[in-house]
A and B are shown apart, each in its own frame.
Chain A
Amino acid sequence: MADQLAIGSRRGLRPALPLLLPAYLWLTVAIFLPLSAMVFFSFMTDLPLAGKEWAFTLGNYAAFFSQGLYSTLLLASLRLGLEVTLWCVVIGYPAAYVLAKVLKGRSREAIFLLVILPFWSNGLVRIFSWAMVLREGGILDTALNAVLPFKINIDLMYSYPAVIIGLVHSYVPYMVLTCYLTLQAIDDSLIEAGRSLGASRLQVLKRVIIPLSMPGLIAGAALIFVPVVGSFMEPRILGGRTGTFYGTVIEDQFVAVFNWPLGAALSFILLAVVLIILALAAPVLRRAG
């Protein structure tokens, strides 16, 4: 059996090459080359533009370790990533469950559309629309005051919760989609089998459904955590002064300060940290599943 499989895959690679090449060529050109350039930049003292002098240095990386600000911001960003991921699980998983296991036919399509809709609108538009909702005298404030008998002041704009709300809104569809896929693959008879053996719905959820949907939860968490840790748009627009995170600092290096080498170095440190976290988390999560 194992021998047969080995033969099959060896024979399979050559005809597969024409199918693989376009994707890998594109990845090489579009990701590997620019990324290599960035690695190169991160070891330079200055950009090699307009005849400026430059030399190789480890200073950009050293800056991260010598200035506490960067690691503080990185920790804040990791916390942000963790919180947003958790909220996405809390909000997205039940929605995915209902989509996969409760709704059927037309109503499922309709609800699905609502989940995917954010993908079709421009990210910037989404964030600015949140700004209109969250600011004092904005939509949320006005609406609540119109309904509630007492006066309250809601001004979430330029606060940490605003950043969380914006990010969760942007990323929750990923969690819904990945969890939906794994939940949908769970045969309904497994749930029925659990209940026929005397397990309550909650016990079935804990011991059968969640373990079996772990791959979707992990995939969703990875898809959300990584970009949120490096996010800068939502923190900047919705967070204002409180919205200074690791991602916004990197953005500043490229856009405002024009210190590309430092920005590149900070980016790669982020990449390294995220990869380490994912590598450490993977076996733990896999065992939980």
Chain B
Amino acid sequence: MAGVTVANVSRSFGAHQALDDVSIDFPDGGFYALLGPSGSGKTTLLRQIAGFDFPDTGRIAIGGESVERVPVEKRRIGMVFQNYALFPNMSVADNVAFGLSVRGEPKAMIATEVRRALDLVQLGKLGGRRPHQLSGGQRQRVALARAIVTKPRVLLLDEPLGALDKALRVDMQIELKRIQREIGITTIFVTHDQEEALTMSDRIGILRDGRLVQEGPPEEIYDRPQSEFAATFLGDANIFRGDATGSGIKLPDGTTIAASTGASVPAGAKASCAVRPERIQISTGAAKPDVGNANMLTGQVSKRIFAGNNSTYFVDREGQTLKVIVQNTGAERLAEGQPVVLSWSPESTVLIAA
């Protein structure tokens, strides 16, 4: 087991800068999600850590040992591929045994370890099957068993749940997390699915255009995004742009929005505010907003999407459409076209430097 350090890593392919001076510390035993849209460089970064590709500049260390020029087969990593990459010419047991067998371990030891790994992923009885006889979820488990049976220092997962359907994906998320806790292995997980990143990881690094945008625990990034991109990519956010006042921003129409979290921006500079849709209270003019909701705007419901346990309202104001999510508490639902008051607290408002 070992932590991973990536320091000032850059990599370009021709004119395309895939990674631009990325530095991240992946804590020992942690579950780290690299999140970003496609083309953000997250898979490139994973491949640098794995050793399939070497950085142009920068340092990569696993357990304190510099590995940036060490080929993949000597790095003692375990990797799960997006398409699982099971060897079709081998049985499930032989797939899992591959890493131990190329190392020349004794047969009896291999058999024991393979059985233990298959038990860990709850596939104890399927060792004799061929990969094509398995379901997607089972293949996923075999790929995981194969990656961890060699006791790697780091487990790398490249969008491992992307090919599974929704229900199975949720099961596998829980399963993956359980296994990771059980063996306590440092895990780096590449995904473009923000929900997956939020629910599974201890820390998240958000990448965009080859740069690290923000990194930290999921709660921290969600509650205190440092950029509009981080705010809108991890979860939903309403963004207001204006001039900083010292305690918030002033919108072009003169409305002020008070913010008490986020960056400190000198008055007069361009800044924006992000507010999560579930933090906004929506009411008709008659009802009084909660005490402390210093921010108040009026608008008109343009659309309502009912999703069972909650409803999303789209509220038009001053040429901007705001999004508000309301839990289904049985309260009266607002009709489209209805004028409404939106209110929220300064604590729920994150100030972002432009």
* A→B interface (CB under 8 Å): 187, 189-190, 192-200, 203, 207-208, 211-212, 289
Q: Which of A187, A190, A197 has the most CB of B within 10 A?
A: A197
| Structural contact, A193 and B88, CB atoms closer than 8 A | no
Q: Which of B23-31, B32-40, B98-106, B167-175 contacts A (4 or more CB under 8 A)?
A: B98-106
| Structural contact, A194 and B79, CB atoms closer than 8 A | no
Q: Is B150 an interface residue (CB 8 A)?
A: yes
| Structural contact, B81 and A198, CB atoms closer than 8 A | no
| Structural contact, B89 and A196, CB atoms closer than 8 A | no
Q: Is B78 an interface residue (CB 8 A)?
A: yes
- B71 contacts across to A, CB distance below 8 A: 195
Q: A197-B146, A198-B103, A199-B98 are in contact. Are A190 and B77 (CB under 8 A)?
A: no
Q: Is B107 an interface residue (CB 8 A)?
A: no
Q: A197-B98, A199-B102 are in contact. Are A192 and B85 (CB under 8 A)?
A: yes
Q: Is B87 an interface residue (CB 8 A)?
A: yes
Q: A195-B73, A196-B50 are in contact. Are A187 and B85 (CB under 8 A)?
A: yes
Q: A192-B72, A192-B81, A193-B81 are in contact. Are A198 and B102 (CB under 8 A)?
A: yes
Report which of A190, A195, A203 forms a contact with B72, defined as CB distance below 8 A: A195
Q: Is B181 an interface residue (CB 8 A)?
A: no
* Shortest CB distance A30–B (Å): 38
Report which of A192, A195, A203, A212 forms a contact with B88, defined as CB distance below 8 A: A212
Q: How large is the interface on B (under 10, 10 to 19, 20 to 34, 35 or more residues)?
A: 20 to 34
| Complex Cα gap A198–B79 (Å) | 11
* Shortest CB distance A190–B (Å): 5
What are 17 A-to-B residue pairs whose CB atoms are below 8 Å?
A: A192-B81, A193-B79, A193-B85, A193-B87, A195-B72, A196-B50, A196-B52, A197-B99, A198-B73, A198-B76, A198-B99, A198-B150, A199-B73, A200-B73, A200-B102, A207-B98, A207-B102
- A197 contacts across to B, CB distance below 8 A: 73, 78, 98-99, 102, 146-147, 150
- A289 contacts across to B, CB distance below 8 A: 89
| Structural contact, B52 and A212, CB atoms closer than 8 A | no
| Structural contact, B85 and A189, CB atoms closer than 8 A | yes
Given contacts A197-B78, A198-B76, 10 further A-B contacts (CB under 8 A): A187-B83, A189-B81, A189-B83, A195-B52, A195-B71, A195-B73, A196-B147, A197-B73, A199-B98, A208-B89
- B77 contacts across to A, CB distance below 8 A: 196
| Structural contact, A190 and B85, CB atoms closer than 8 A | yes
- B79 contacts across to A, CB distance below 8 A: 192-193, 196
| Structural contact, A196 and B72, CB atoms closer than 8 A | yes
| Complex Cα gap A187–B99 (Å) | 19
* Shortest CB distance A104–B (Å): 12
- A198 contacts across to B, CB distance below 8 A: 73-74, 76, 99, 102-103, 150
| Complex Cα gap A199–B83 (Å) | 20
| Structural contact, A212 and B73, CB atoms closer than 8 A | no
- Interface code B151-189, partner A: CB below 8 Å = 1, 0 otherwise? 000001000000000000000000000000000000000
* Shortest CB distance B200–A (Å): 21
* Shortest CB distance B118–A (Å): 16
Q: Which of B50, B76, B83, B85 has the most CB of A within 10 A?
A: B85
- B98 contacts across to A, CB distance below 8 A: 194, 197, 199, 207
| Complex Cα gap A212–B78 (Å) | 23
- A196 contacts across to B, CB distance below 8 A: 50, 52, 72-73, 77-79, 147, 156
10 tightest A-B CB contacts, nearest first: A197-B99, A193-B85, A189-B85, A196-B79, A199-B102, A211-B89, A189-B81, A195-B73, A195-B72, A203-B102
| Complex Cα gap A207–B88 (Å) | 11
| Complex Cα gap A137–B98 (Å) | 55
- Interface code B59-91, partner A: CB below 8 Å = 1, 0 otherwise? 000000000000111101111011101111100
- B89 contacts across to A, CB distance below 8 A: 208, 211-212, 289
| Complex Cα gap A289–B89 (Å) | 8
| Complex Cα gap A189–B47 (Å) | 12
- B102 contacts across to A, CB distance below 8 A: 194, 197-200, 203, 207
Q: Which of A187, A193, A194, A212 has the most CB of B within 10 A?
A: A193
- A194 contacts across to B, CB distance below 8 A: 87, 98, 102
| Complex Cα gap A212–B90 (Å) | 10
- B83 contacts across to A, CB distance below 8 A: 187, 189
| Structural contact, B52 and A192, CB atoms closer than 8 A | yes
* Shortest CB distance A128–B (Å): 44
Q: Which of B82, B99, B146 has the most CB of A within 10 A?
A: B99
Nearest A residue to B75 by beta-carbon distance?
A: A196
Q: Which of A190, A200, A208 has the most CB of B within 10 A?
A: A190
- B82 contacts across to A, CB distance below 8 A: 189
| Structural contact, A190 and B99, CB atoms closer than 8 A | no
Nearest B residue to A191 by beta-carbon distance?
A: B85
- A200 contacts across to B, CB distance below 8 A: 73, 102
- B76 contacts across to A, CB distance below 8 A: 198
